[in-house]
Structure 1
Amino acid sequence: MVRIPDKILKFRKLNQTQITAIVIAVICVLVFGLFVFLPVGNKDEIKNVIIEKGTGLSEIASILKENNIIRDRYVFMLYTTALGAGKDLKAGKYKFTGRFHMTDIVFKLYVGLSEPEDIIAFIPEGYNIWEIDERLSALGFTKKGQFAKANLDQEGFLFPDTYKIDSDNALYVDSTGKLSENSAINSIKQAAVIQNISDKMRANFNKQIDPLLKDLTFDKRKEVLILA
């Protein structure tokens, strides 16, 4: 039997170790790539998350994982750190639609492509219910005529002011910020938005006017307001 020299055996063992290490490294890279490049979520899915100012990378990763936007928080942290973006993710309100790729998620947070949290609606003094309706429809909160028809009995009780209204209520604004005719919006959601805005304006009215008219009946208040 031919004896294989010890040097050759050591060389073969060294090669086996190297091969094993390479195989493990390749598997790790493939798994990492799957986590990074395979999308998460469904085609019609929408996820909203809020990243507060001062939130660190670890907490951001946890928020994204809890909302099923990423598969693994540690892979997200490693990938983001490798890109040099770990300390530069921006705070804000983010909307993720459809299937989410980690590359797109990191880019969105790094650049700060957040959603506007509020839309400013200025209702000037002296506006009647139809003029208020026109202003709100121009901002995409309702279709023209909907708000006025739902609040005809509130004429005079919706206080003129500058209102901050959550952008989620802008049902008729598309992803580019333009007005759109969205026929998929159901009537319940439309009614909820209208009710939310009218409640906000009525509450402001009560806060501002009640101290002045607290001794008058509802009918007397309305009479005074109409005359005013």
Structure 2
Amino acid sequence: MSIKKTNRLMVFVLCSLFLIVCFLFYTGQGIYLAKNSSGQEEVFLIKKGESIREIAAKLESQNLIKNDFFFLFYSFLGGDSRKLQAGEYLVSSSQNIPEITRKFVKGEVIKEKITVVEGWNLRDIGWYFENNGIFQAEEILELVGFPGKDFSNEFNFLEDKPKNLGLEGYLFPDTYEIDKEEGVEEVIRKMLRNFDRKLTLDLREEIEKQG
């Protein structure tokens, strides 16, 4: 190989390395430096079925990140592009892209507290959800009333429940945290899981006697 060709190759390699270093420096700053150190939190919604590109574009349009490319690059590089969970989040432009992505992957959505009061019947529960703008009362009653949905294959304690009765008495009175992307069935499952956790053997026997 001639000296001229060797010099050209050397120049090409050095230029390539310089461009790679510049790209990594530029991209690293875009990823690890927040857009605004004093940004306020605002609500950011990820809808079910939304693509990673749509999420990145929304983050940029809401001025939460500098450029959607940085979010896409980091998400694909870290393998998080398919792990982002739907829901409403509080996000700030003072957070960098790893912090925002971590929040989406962990599903740290805005939670709404609801309280089911002891002594409420199914209709009371249905109207409570409707009055709070969460679900329609009819949605609740169709699911937990008679005939309703059969949850006995998921919760063993329902196997002895009379078939002609709904879930009245099984939706444990308590305060629950839910997010807006949770469907009505998942909220009912949450209440049934709570019933299963908190119901003692004595209480189960008492319910069976009453039944």
Give the shorter-chain TM-score range: 0.5 to 0.7
Choose which of 111, 128, 131 in structure 2 pairs with 1:162.
Answer: 128
Q: CA RMSD in A?
A: 2.8
Q: 2:108 is aligned with what amino acid?
A: L
Choose which of 15, 19, 38 in structure 2 pairs with 1:43.
Answer: 38
- Give the corresponding residue for 2:26: 31
Unaligned 5+ runs, structure 1: 1-5, 126-159, 167-176, 178-228
* Cα distance in 1 between the residues matched to 2:127 and 2:8: 80
Structure 1 contact 80–106 (Cα < 8 Å) conserved = yes
* Cα distance in 2 between the residues matched to 1:44 and 1:14: 47
Which has the higher relative contact order, 1 or 2, with Cα contacts under 8 A spaced 6 or more apart? 2
* Cα distance in 2 between the residues matched to 1:121 and 1:98: 33
1:62 aligns with 2:57: yes
Cα pair distance change 1:48/1:35, threshold 3 Å: same
Identity of aligned residues (%): 20
* Pairing 1:50-129 to 2, within 5 Å after superposition: 50-97=45-92, 99-116=94-111, 118-122=112-116
Cα pair distance change 1:123/1:162, threshold 3 Å: farther
- Give the corresponding residue for 1:14: 9
Larger Rg: 1
Structure 1 contact 41–68 (Cα < 8 Å) conserved = no
Structure 1 contact 47–69 (Cα < 8 Å) conserved = no
TM-score, normalised on structure 1? Answer: 0.50
TM-score, normalised on structure 2? Answer: 0.54
* Cα distance in 2 between the residues matched to 1:72 and 1:34: 11
